[in-house]
Amino acid sequence: MYHPKNCREATVEKIEYFDYPKVAKKMNVPSAILKKIEKEVKHEFPKDKMMYELHVLRALRACGKITSQIAGDRV
């Protein structure tokens, strides 16, 4: 069952399709941001584990691209 308070702990242990926590860690995404993304995506895909994990991963990658673009604009 989904519990927003411990969403990361619950999902990390039960990754079935896409290892998005590993990507988040590699990208240095704060756990609070990851939890917000997970909560939002879980609202969209409450019963589809594959779509949930895929969309969390896609959101993380999109955030990374935006951050890279912003950083590039500052250089």
Give the mean pLDDT of the chain: 81
Residue 75's pLDDT band, with cuts at 50, 70 and 90, is very low
How far apart are alpha carbons 4 and 11 in whole angstroms? 11
Query: What residue type is assigned to position 48 of the chain?
Result: D
**Number of domains the chain contains:** 1
The DSSP 8-state label assigned to residue 5 in this structure reads G
Q: Which domain holds residue 50?
A: 4-74
Cα-flanking dihedrals φ and ψ of residue 59, to 5°?
-65, -40
Q: What is the mean pLDDT of residues 8-13?
A: 46
Q: What pLDDT, on the 0 to 100 scale, is given for residue 7? A: 45
Q: What is the mean pLDDT of residues 61-75?
A: 72
Q: What pLDDT, on the 0 to 100 scale, is given for residue 6? A: 43
Please tell me the pTM assigned to this model.
0.72
User: pLDDT of 17-41, one tens digit each?
Assistant: 999 999 999 998 999 999 999 999 9
